[in-house]
Chain A
């Protein structure tokens, strides 16, 4: 029963802005899953409305440069903007955490090597690094995910390693080493459980960064390629409408902003919560 109530307790323990953020994030997550069914118009319906038309009852958020319905295009784009970023953020966090654990328990040499490479990758701004990878491998969907993973694992590694290296010097970890436990046992059973909570918050931030990165790449025309379109592509395609104040430019950008701000509010509220509140209230 307590486990069932956990989401409710989580929701109740958040601040007001955290609740709003959580609701916005959940809304977009549902749109990414079911948006294609909810779309009022066919996205391929070229000339279905006026070019770069305003908001009307037929096209609630206006039409794009080919007369397609913007609301439907945003709903279809949610799948790409959120799906790609979620996959990439998940992989980047897991890879960063596992490599950090490896560096923390393996020998001095590997620790030094991973740390150095990581420092070097952190020196390159995310967009610069990902542009370089796109230049080499192009921007197919799987490559975009790999690009985002490669760009953002160093950040996860740095945070995870800082935690792991302080945890490995704690008395209980030393005791377990002295007891004769293997390195992997120590890493998985002693160090990892204490890193999960902060790494989950970090995962949220990484998701926000990757949404911004991928939409930025798409905006430059180097991200998701037609016939697919994520929100960044939509902004780019309709940029000519900017001078008439067309909603086709603004609405996809607003969609990105609402998602990232919502996720940020939620994460911020999680960070301010004491880590043990949940466990205590649940017990």
Chain B
């Protein structure tokens, strides 16, 4: 890491923060389009106009939109995320314990998916046109097109209903032993992995194939390097950038997929909090959840950028 690389990374981080700021503006302005408004929403249909007006003033809804945006934004920066419409508790308190749960699910999925996808992608790239390669192409197309809830319901049907290997829908007890922990997580993780592995493996494959087609690799093969060594030692370091990007893109899919998976398996995570808040039209919770999803995605993109920069020899000296 030299100064120039740090500068590049800082610039990417700055761009990320700017994007997050625009996201916050989009989120705020869309949610402020609520027909009627929050005061009416909290008090319900039977409220008198006077009480609605009083609450409106208390919430600051009588102020112009831009002023409210900046109040909201500075509040968020100081860790004040507002009060839930539905339960009148601070939003942070409601969402707080959901975050680690979702990160845990995403973390386990990532730890399983990434190595698996890398291995499949590399093997497929080395055996281009083979049965494995074609299977990968077809299964990617199929899994991208199939709704997550089909994969999840089929998995429940096979593993929980027919085979009785795992019990569907069992979360909650904090002191689970290892076996029941594995059983509880097996189906959600399996379902998420299905799609992720196929996507990541396909992009890994194309990144490596790009390198395999280049003259320097032909040179390496001609001088007698074994195919495996050529891929691992010569092609892979050059493909790190595209692969890191592919992985961060696929992982961002994880955030969409996790919404369906969490509600099928009634997993107490951030995404199910978002779905519940949407059904209750609890906008402060929705705002915070959406911002958290956006922030996670930007962190992933930044991580991929840092890897790309770190592995580019052009900037090392």
Contact = CB atoms under 8 A, between A and B. Distances in A.
Interface of A: 116-117, 119-121, 123-129, 131-138, 208, 212, 215-216, 219-222, 232, 235, 239, 242-245, 249-250, 253-254, 256-257, 260-261, 263-265, 268
Contacts of A257: 145-147, 150
Interface in B29-56: 30-31, 33-35
A135 B141 contact: no
B141 A265 contact: yes
Given A260-B145, A264-B141, A264-B144, A242 B157 contact: yes
Interface string B270-293: 000011011101110011011001
Contacts of A221: 279
A11 B157 CA distance: 38
B26 A121 contact: yes
A231 B87 CA distance: 33
A128 B277 contact: no
A120 B281 contact: no
Given A136-B33, A222-B279, 20 more contacts: A120-B19, A121-B26, A124-B294, A124-B297, A125-B293, A127-B256, A127-B260, A128-B274, A128-B290, A128-B293, A131-B286, A135-B31, A137-B33, A137-B35, A220-B275, A232-B149, A239-B153, A242-B156, A260-B145, A260-B147
Nearest to A129: B290
From DSSP, what is the main secondary structure of chain B's interface residues?
helix
Given A133-B30, A215-B147, A123 B298 contact: yes
Contacts of B161: 242-245
A120 B256 contact: no
A222 B153 CA distance: 19
Contacts, number: 139
- Greatest chain A CB density within 10 A among B35, B252, B293 is at B293
Contacts of A119: 19, 22
A123 B253 CA distance: 11
Contacts of B34: 136
A263 B142 CA distance: 11
A67 B134 CA distance: 43
6 closest Cβ contacts across the A-B interface? A120-B22, A260-B145, A125-B256, A253-B150, A135-B278, A127-B256
A84 B156 CA distance: 30
B194 interface: no
B23 interface: yes
Contacts of A136: 30-31, 33-35, 281, 283
Interface of B: 18-20, 22-23, 25-27, 30-31, 33-35, 141-142, 144-150, 153-154, 156-157, 161-162, 252-253, 255-256, 259-260, 263, 274-275, 277-279, 281-283, 286-287, 289-290, 293-294, 297-298
Nearest to A260: B145
A132 B23 CA distance: 12
Contacts of A137: 33, 35
B314 to A, nearest CB: 24
A268 B141 contact: yes
B147 A256 contact: yes
A208 B290 contact: no
B147 A253 contact: yes
Nearest to A213: B256
B260 A219 contact: yes
A268 to B, nearest CB: 6
Contacts of A260: 145-147
B81 to A, nearest CB: 15
A131 B35 CA distance: 16
Nearest to A257: B146
B52 to A, nearest CB: 19
Contacts of A215: 147
Contacts of A123: 19-20, 23, 294, 297-298
Nearest to B254: A125
Contacts of A134: 278
- Greatest chain A CB density within 10 A among B18, B144, B256 is at B256
11 contacts: A116-B19, A119-B22, A121-B26, A129-B290, A136-B31, A212-B145, A220-B263, A220-B275, A235-B149, A261-B145, A264-B145
A143 to B, nearest CB: 10
B264 to A, nearest CB: 8
B300 to A, nearest CB: 10
Contacts of B157: 242, 245, 250
A208 B274 contact: no
Contact of A128 (B20, B22, B149, B259): B259
Contact of B259 (A127, A212, A239): A127
A243 to B, nearest CB: 6
A111 B293 CA distance: 27
A129 B286 CA distance: 10
A242 B153 contact: yes
A134 B255 CA distance: 18
Nearest to A124: B294
A265 B148 CA distance: 19
A222 B147 contact: no
A263 B157 CA distance: 27
B305 to A, nearest CB: 14
Contacts of A249: 153
A215 B149 CA distance: 9
A116 B22 CA distance: 8
Nearest to A119: B19
A220 B23 contact: no
A257 B283 CA distance: 33
